[in-house]
Amino acid sequence: MTVMFPNLEKWLMSRRSMLTATVAGLFGVVRAPQKVIAASEESDSEWDLSDQEWRTRLSPESYQVLRREGTEPPFTSALNNEKRTGIYHCAGCDLPLFSSQAKYESGTGWPSFWKPLSGAIATKVDFKLIVPRTEYHCSRCGGHQGHVFNDGPRPTGKRYCNNGVALRFQTA
């Protein structure tokens, strides 16, 4: 199939990104049926909070994304247009996740980065849209951040497409 359709994977990736943006835009926050299970076995047990503790700690929008693996509507986060130098932290546990030096304008409507900070994230495969995607979470609290795609800029070629409500920005 690869020989007959060499660009099929790239075409499917672009269609999947478009579908994700459309669904998120039509329905607001897309909600997963279960609470988040940490993406990494190494997640910090100090952050193994009850559902009620997370609801108290987070805004309703952040809770839906971080703990229910939701997606915020595109072009709604102020962080999408953030241009200052600093660090993007997990909104759940304050772990530094991305440097502003790795941020770029992807045109998707969500803050996008080409590289996370070392050890900051953990990944798992997500089948919510039928086609598998790589989902990433905060490595400390397991909070859902977004998805990573192979259509980003050099040097990594990755696009870490992050929900703005899952982040907190701290200027340098």
Residues with catalytic roles: 161
Tokens of 144: 């859902």
